[in-house]
Structure 1
């Protein structure tokens, strides 16, 4: 919903607003429907915002701090001083982890660092920061936080990194579709064909990276090295 072109975004997906229904017309493991209730809080972000937000998440997953800062400013007007707090807010992780890799489980040290920071006034700073961002961004952040919480409470096999892997796939698709649209509007020719191929390679690189990481997580699970559930 966040990354889909012209798609309405349900901004209150907590456990009480979601149900799972068996669908016998499809095969396992996809033989179910996800039912959303309480349709009072929808937004339709414009496509430029969706795409900039997708690029922000790809930068987060690549631990590319310059690009993270660029798209945080583009999406929410975040300046360099505000960025570390904003990065922690959108990922739910310590800023030092965000600049290295969010695709890791939280350690006891990280949880303690976040708890200490909240006690040292970070919560007040966060409230002030979120009060300055556009309302639609605030609702998107709320939606991300709720879905991340749902996933962690389900104790999924891949642990908390699963949320980031799903985000990465949809973000990569949104960026790829934007590139294809721009190239289609520019017409055809050898140079544009090359750019199409380059765009596909970028998309395939992310898919391969995620698939390899997912395979590694499954191997760890089979070997009894289950990711830490937060």
Structure 2
């Protein structure tokens, strides 16, 4: 039965590939494209074959089980793990965009833990292209011989990932540069891979109506399309450098525009080690927790203040460069994937974090309605802060055993249709934030950063983001005035957090007292804004 079902899927994948091959141009470039598409059909067939087994496993293993029973949950976890391992092998075998897709899924906090933990093992590494192919791409883009452009150019790449490889070079003025070169035929490969993923997504949704992946796939395709245009990456890089021009810790490599096109990006060469390289940090007397704090401040400002968010902050894209005496700079690389947040969304998200820190259930629900998630808004505290809306745990600490038990029971009662509805209702900006935050939390954990540091840093950045309204004056006096307002608001928030935390620990602490404190905060806030 399974064999019969797979046959039309394989034929469809082959037909799609054949259609693209037939439409590709003739000549040497056409043969290169046709070759890429030929391999694309092979990848598609492998993907269809794997997904066929995964679908059959879910259908067969869960049949006849009550979705609310403990047996169902145990069996579901087993199938999740088996399926995740199959997808891991598929991504490793197909490489390229499949690795990117696997990494994208693993960073989403809403996917089952069996998938996120298994797919997080994927490394964005690839077999480098031959040097003469890379040399040809550079010479075609600039119409010059390679050594008319560069004084020196290392034939061996210093990095090779899914879409490009990076070589170290030296200009004729002795400036060291990093040259990022896109692999030939990559756009054609992306077309057939995305077509296959879309086809499989629709097929799985047809077999399992409660599973919907359309939004995730749309966001993934958008991010990949942006990442293939290196001129966009260069512009993102310069904009980020401008946002953090007053931050002495943040370093963004300078772009050489005369040597940058859609397929080639030439940047200043920056020295450093991966942000989570603990051995390197110890050897250079750099504090991992200070690095973690600087990192979360960087991304907190990106999200809440500038609303211009780096979408791929994995350790290879953030380097620590020693500056002597335990000081350091953070070098931010790979600016291909960014999200410019909608201005209203940014301000609402700032309000959400303020409400999350104070566990203001009414405000969280109100904002949930604005975001379009309705009843699912009560899960925002769990997703972002690791505690429930009713939690009495102190900020940044683990939930109590009883809270964990109740939450587990509630989450187990949710069906896949609930999760799909939640995902479908989220604004698009949330996807990048969830992915970015997931990657950051992993790095912060590696660096040994206490949980409350991220939460309080985000709270301070959220207050700063609320104080800084669009088109605000940016002079020295205005900036100083803004910083004073932000710091006073943040200190006031910290006082309330500490008082609420102490009351929550005290025997007989009444919700009425906590609510009264929150009311006081609102009144003080209103008075403060009138004074300012």
**Does the alignment reach a TM-score above 0.5?**
yes
| Residues 1:17 and 2:313 are matched in the alignment | no
Secondary structure in 1 aligned to 2:353?
helix
Taking the aligned partners of 1:101 and 1:178, their CA distance within structure 2 comes to 33
Are the structure 2 counterparts of residues 140 and 102 from structure 1 closer, same or farther at C-alpha, using a change threshold of 3 Å? Answer: farther
What residue in structure 2 maps to residue 193 of structure 1?
none
Secondary structure in 2 aligned to 1:141?
helix
| Residues 1:94 and 2:388 are matched in the alignment | yes
Does structure 2 retain, via aligned residues, the 8 Å contact 1:176–1:203? no
User: Higher relative CO (CA 8 A, sep ≥ 6), structure 1 or 2?
Assistant: 1
Q: Provide TM-score, normalisation by structure 1.
A: 0.66
Query: 1:126 Cα shift?
Result: 3.2
Taking the aligned partners of 2:323 and 2:462, their CA distance within structure 1 comes to 28
Aligned pair count reads 188
Deviations 1:187-224 (A, max 9, x none): xxxxxxxxx99x93x8514225538989xxxxxxxxxx
What residue in structure 2 maps to residue 83 of structure 1?
377
Are the structure 2 counterparts of residues 88 and 143 from structure 1 closer, same or farther at C-alpha, using a change threshold of 3 Å? Answer: same
> Counterparts of 1:1-230 in structure 2 under 5 Å?
1-5=302-306, 7-24=307-324, 31-74=327-370, 76-79=371-374, 81-97=375-391, 100=392, 103-107=395-399, 109=401, 110-111=403-404, 113-115=406-408, 117-121=410-414, 125-156=418-449, 159-178=450-469, 181=472, 200=485, 204-210=488-494
Q: Report the structure number with the largest CA radius of gyration.
A: 2
Cα RMSD (Å) of the superposition? Answer: 3.4
Are the structure 2 counterparts of residues 175 and 122 from structure 1 closer, same or farther at C-alpha, using a change threshold of 3 Å? Answer: farther
Secondary structure in 1 aligned to 2:396?
coil
Q: Provide TM-score, normalisation by structure 2.
A: 0.31
Are the structure 2 counterparts of residues 93 and 124 from structure 1 closer, same or farther at C-alpha, using a change threshold of 3 Å? Answer: farther
Query: 1:177 Cα shift?
Result: 2.0
Secondary structure in 2 aligned to 1:146?
helix
Taking the aligned partners of 1:146 and 1:93, their CA distance within structure 2 comes to 19
Taking the aligned partners of 2:469 and 2:428, their CA distance within structure 1 comes to 24
Taking the aligned partners of 2:490 and 2:412, their CA distance within structure 1 comes to 37
Greater shift after overlay, 108-117 or 81-90? 108-117
Does structure 2 retain, via aligned residues, the 8 Å contact 1:8–1:44? yes
Are the structure 2 counterparts of residues 72 and 33 from structure 1 closer, same or farther at C-alpha, using a change threshold of 3 Å? Answer: farther
Gaps of 5+ in 1: 185-195, 215-230
Query: 1:33 Cα shift?
Result: 1.8
Are the structure 2 counterparts of residues 162 and 127 from structure 1 closer, same or farther at C-alpha, using a change threshold of 3 Å? Answer: farther
Are the structure 2 counterparts of residues 102 and 36 from structure 1 closer, same or farther at C-alpha, using a change threshold of 3 Å? Answer: farther
Taking the aligned partners of 1:59 and 1:205, their CA distance within structure 2 comes to 14
Are the structure 2 counterparts of residues 12 and 118 from structure 1 closer, same or farther at C-alpha, using a change threshold of 3 Å? Answer: farther
